[in-house]
A and B are shown apart, each in its own frame.
Chain A
Amino acid sequence: MLVKYPLTEEQNLLVELIKRIGEEYIAPFALEWDEKESFDPRPIRALADADLFGIIVPKEYGGLGMGVFEMCLAVEWLSYYCAGVSTTYAASFLGAYPIILFGNEKQKEKYLPDIAKGKKLCAFALTEPQAGSDAFAIKTTARKEGNYYVLNGVKQWITNGGIADINIVIALTDPAKGPRGASAFIVEKGDPGFSAGKKEKKLGLKSSVTTDLIFNDCKIPADRLLSREGMGFMVALKTLDYARCGAGAQALGVAQAALEVSLKHAKKRIQFGQPVYNFQAVSHTFAEMTMRLEASRALVYQVAKFIDAGAKDFSGASAMAKCFATDQAMWICERAIQMMGGYGYMRDYPVQKFFRDVKCLQIYEGTNEIQKNVIARELSKVYK
């Protein structure tokens, strides 16, 4: 890395531990998981045993009480080893944030200690077949019946679907009110009428699990409501504001790995009697890759620190971090393949995996087009 960041002793220990877990529990297996499209619980177990699911959980609930910046460092370096594993990990934070940000005392006491210990994995369910970027078009309903809510509908492309113990589900409690009639619920694995669909076949991120969530008269106690009725989209949007930096951090890790693998190749690959790195067309490409990566890292880190410093309005900032870093990472991974030529295209080498994995980062947690809508909206608020 050409730009060095001063990290605290704790942050350095965190990065070292993530790298140790990456080297031992991920690196030797990542290509095989990708090839076989298999989810291996071992790295998740290792992250749980290392207390790393507790990063963002407040100390009083057994977590580490760290900020978005530390979450980004963990996600970045995990993604360096496998973006599929980091997707499972980061998606669990997406499910944990709503409880941290909007849970009442009882809900926090019930769920957060187990989340911090990594005993319970989380998922966040907003998307539906007809409601992707147009999130307000959700149709899943939650009907109040005495002391219960009864959920009906289908959520689509849910990371950690079926393997998560705690699922945050956005559903309409008052369909007549439109988006203001949506509410957020905690649905637990094993709740009656709740099941996961088949595992989706994906282009990348194959070591993570993605499924539909199906609610068929799913009956849950009324105290599973997060915040108040009608706050569903508030919960969802605030959660995404916090978590978006994590998607940007994933992009940094994958791009860093792509840069390193392809650079090592270019310095060793002899053509026309010399390493291909000696040719300006190649070395300038690497210069461009590094600039884009470092610019992305600077933005993601800065936005994370901005949020941790107590910023109130950071939708635009976190949208920029996510959109810019993931777009740059896509470009860097594509160039990394080009710099390796035929080797880059072969599945024996990891760069093609980075390329397939990184594509999803431009799509999930709000497509980059939606991020630009958010940025433009926030921009016009500032410059009236």
Chain B
Amino acid sequence: MRIIVSIKGVPKPETVKVDPETHALRRESAELILNPFDRSALEMAARLKEKYNAEVIAISMGPPNVIPLLREAYSICADRIILLSDRAFAGADTLVTSRVLAQAIKKLAPFDLVLMGLKSADGETAQVPPETAAILGIPSIINVKNLSFEGGKVIALRETEYGLEELEAEPPIVVSLYPKLDYFRPPSFKRLLEIRNIEPEIWSAKDLELNEEKLGLSGSPTRVLGVFEKKFAEKGEIWEGEPEELAKRLINLLKEKGFLKA
């Protein structure tokens, strides 16, 4: 059994900058962390690996600063780690990202499962898993809580507003996972020792035999026209200072507004 886990590096909250021209996130300069939603994909891959002795391959599209996250994937369960990296990929929207991932996944065939997080913590579109499946021409099931194999079929359990739903599919399929599993394993110490001597494979656009015109910003139909901070009409105030001083100020305000008797 072969499982491919696709992970993403997302900017650490509060370290992210937005490109003023393209309005895309500047990933190459940000401090990257593993997309928190992808932890479910890695945990599920580790569980399936234990249960079915599966081979796990972790892939990620991104700049070289994603490599530590692929190493993290190795330390949890991946047997092989592959970085999909090329200047031509920069500025990719979900369609182009899915195109690159699908091409890499095709090269890794035969496979049984592609696991991804439900969505990314930066873009939050949740489009990449089903888009990748569509390009590969295989089914996808999203927001899955548990996975098993029975008689050559994948059994996926997911929670809906109507209750638990059990779906059955013929592999290979793409699955995005429910973010809150009951348990996430830490890295394995043995694997942390091994990873010191392992470098990820790096696949470029050329390696993937992809036409550069269909990649990056130019290949992406999505145009972000603007990025702005949502302003609320009734703005809350934040007071800073010494507790005694702030308490006095609050009492005065409450008196002023008539909530406290003077």
Interface residues contributed by chain B, number (CB under 8 Å): 11
B51 within 8 A of A: no
A24 within 8 A of B: yes
A51 contacts across to B, CB distance below 8 A: 188-191
A64 within 8 A of B: yes
Is the pair B190, A20 in contact by a Cβ cutoff of 8 Å? Answer: no
Looking at the assembled complex, report how far the CB atom of A84 sits from the nearest CB atom of chain B, in whole angstroms: 19
| A229-246, CB < 8 A from B | none
Is the pair B190, A17 in contact by a Cβ cutoff of 8 Å? Answer: no
Q: How far is the CA of A25 from the CA of B187 in the complex (A)?
A: 13
Number of A-B residue pairs, CB cutoff 8 Å, is 37
A20-B186 contact given A13-B192, A13-B193, CB 8 Å threshold: yes
Q: Classify the interface of chain A: helix, strand, loop or mixed.
A: helix
A282 within 8 A of B: no
B183 within 8 A of A: yes
Chain A interface size, under 10 / 10 to 19 / 20 to 34 / 35 or more:
10 to 19
Looking at the assembled complex, report how far the CB atom of B68 sits from the nearest CB atom of chain A, in whole angstroms: 14
B189 contacts across to A, CB distance below 8 A: 13-14, 17, 50-52, 54, 64
| A1-41, CB < 8 A from B | 9-10, 13-14, 17, 20-21, 24-25
Is the pair B186, A21 in contact by a Cβ cutoff of 8 Å? Answer: yes
Is the pair B183, A50 in contact by a Cβ cutoff of 8 Å? Answer: no
A374 within 8 A of B: no
Q: Quick one: closest B residue to A21, CB to CB? A: B186
Contact of B185 among A10, A49, A64 (CB under 8 A): A49
| A192-234, CB < 8 A from B | none
Is the pair B193, A10 in contact by a Cβ cutoff of 8 Å? Answer: yes
A284 within 8 A of B: no
Is the pair A46, B192 in contact by a Cβ cutoff of 8 Å? Answer: no
Looking at the assembled complex, report how far the CB atom of B51 sits from the nearest CB atom of chain A, in whole angstroms: 14
A42 within 8 A of B: yes
Q: How far is the CA of A52 from the CA of B193 in the complex (A)?
A: 13
A45 within 8 A of B: yes
| B175-208, CB < 8 A from A | 183, 185-193, 196
The CB with the most chain A CB atoms within 10 A, among B191, B193, B196, is that of B193
B193 contacts across to A, CB distance below 8 A: 10, 13
Q: How far is the CA of A46 from the CA of B189 in the complex (A)?
A: 11
B191 contacts across to A, CB distance below 8 A: 51
Q: How far is the CA of A17 from the CA of B192 in the complex (A)?
A: 9
Q: Quick one: closest B residue to A55, CB to CB? A: B189
Chain A residues proximal to chain B, CB less than 8 Å: 9-10, 13-14, 17, 20-21, 24-25, 42, 45-46, 49-52, 54, 64
Chain B residues proximal to chain A, CB less than 8 Å: 183, 185-193, 196
A-B contact pairs, 7 of them (CB 8 A): A20-B186, A46-B186, A49-B185, A49-B188, A51-B191, A64-B189, A64-B190
Q: Which 4 A-B pairs have the closest CB atoms?
A: A49-B185, A51-B189, A51-B190, A50-B186
**11 new A-B pairs (CB below 8 Å) besides A17-B192, A45-B185?**
A14-B189, A17-B186, A20-B187, A49-B185, A49-B188, A50-B189, A51-B188, A51-B189, A51-B191, A64-B189, A64-B190
